[in-house]
Amino acid sequence: MNIQWYPGHMTRAKRKLEEQLKWVDIILELADARLPLSSRNPLLNQLLGTKQRLLLLNKSDLADKVRTEQWVTMLKKDGPVLAISSTTSIGIKNIVPLLEKLMTEKRERLAARGVRERPIRVMVVGIPNIGKSTLINQLTGGSQAKTGNKPGVTRGNQWVRIHDKVELLDTPGMLWPKFDDPEVGRKLAVTGAVRDEVFDQEELALWLLKWLKANYPQDLAGFYKLTAEEMTEAERSDENESESGFGLELIGRKRGCLISGGRIDTFKAAQIFLREFRSGKIAKVTMD
């Protein structure tokens, strides 16, 4: 799938990242704990070269806890990893000590060359809306970095000092121009990394509904108080794609999305469903 929407500011962000890289000691890469594979930019390996990296699985409060632990264990084989949550402060206090540990060797090298001790320079990178600015505010205990519940909030790069030990560089979220696997695009869209205008919201919601039914059926049924009969009804709509929208009608009925003539506003139902999913209220999910 080729993404026609690769916004200009992301191209600029990429160039800027390459420029800033030489000033930076460590990269803090934020990925989504719900998508430990799909939310990592495949271009980063080329862009960052051999620069030290700490991987943070953020939004772990929204992910399947057991699966997150499994992912951390697996990903640790390639380098340091922490599961965190920037809004609930899970894992936050482990970040600075780990950065200092990772910096020890470089510090010693710099000291040997007579370079005066200076704060560790850390660049925070990751897909849009993953929580880079929120994390920076959490670490500084302030609100210096602008945040928002939609992709594309941070535009320029901004340095923020945590204390005398660490300086953080906030960067705009970056996606890559082409998703080889269309599933990756959908996963990124339902978790909020892609602007809503890019995908047809009803199609996306239907895809998610199907996915939840397959992977977290009890959570789905529990949240929308779906009877066994209603779950089967939703399944039938899967089998008959021409009647698609049926699953959304079910959600719409539960949420009172009515239009004249007693019909269901499936667009509104899709929006509500996606919003409820993103808030983590339906289920704590891991999609990779």
Ligand X SMILES: Nc1nc2c(ncn2[C@@H]2O[C@H](COP(=O)(O)OP(=O)(O)OP(=O)(O)O)[C@@H](O)[C@H]2O)c(=O)[nH]1
Q: Please give the Cα distance from 7 to 5 (Å, whole number).
A: 6
Taking the least distance from each CB to ligand X, the nearer of 131 and 247 is 131
Among 38, 68, 86, 237, binds ligand X (CB under 6 A): 86
Report the nearest approach of ligand X to the CB of residue 242 (Å): 37
- Residues in CB range of 66: below 8 A, 6 or more apart: none
| CA atoms within 13 Å, Cβ hemisphere of 53 | 21
Sign of torsion, CA 48 52 126 81?
A: positive
Region from 21-29, 116-124, 127-135, 222-230 binding Mg ion, contact rule CB under 5 A: 127-135
Q: Does 131 bind ligand X (CB under 6 A)?
A: yes
Region from 100-108, 146-154, 158-166, 218-226 binding ligand X, contact rule CB under 6 A: 146-154
Q: Please give the Cα distance from 240 to 231 (Å, whole number).
A: 15
Report the nearest approach of ligand X to the CB of residue 86 (Å): 4
Region from 36-44, 125-133, 160-168, 231-239 binding ligand X, contact rule CB under 6 A: 125-133
Region from 10-18, 98-106, 133-141, 161-169 binding Mg ion, contact rule CB under 5 A: 133-141
Q: Does 130 bind ligand X (CB under 6 A)?
A: yes
What is the CB neighbour count within 10 angstroms for residue 216? 18
The 8 Å CB, 24+ separation contacts for 64-69 are 64/34, 64/284, 64/285, 64/286, 65/284, 67/286, 68/33, 68/36, 68/286
Q: Does 68 bind ligand X (CB under 6 A)?
A: no
Q: Does 16 bind Mg ion (CB under 5 A)?
A: no
CB 30 within 8 A of CB 56: yes
Q: Does 133 bind ligand X (CB under 6 A)?
A: yes
Q: Please give the Cα distance from 285 to 208 (Å, whole number).
A: 12
Among 10, 125, 128, 283, binds ligand X (CB under 6 A): 128
Q: Does 171 bind Mg ion (CB under 5 A)?
A: no
Taking the least distance from each CB to ligand X, the nearer of 48 and 175 is 175
Taking the least distance from each CB to Mg ion, the nearer of 72 and 153 is 153
Residues 241-260, interacting with ligand X (CB under 6 A): none
Among 14, 53, 59, 187, binds ligand X (CB under 6 A): 59
Region from 12-20, 84-92, 126-134, 208-216 binding Mg ion, contact rule CB under 5 A: 126-134
Among 70, 94, 143, 149, binds ligand X (CB under 6 A): 149
Among 154, 201, 237, 286, binds Mg ion (CB under 5 A): 154
What residue ranges bind ligand X (CB under 6 A)? 58-59, 61-62, 85-87, 126, 128-134, 147-149, 151-154, 172-173
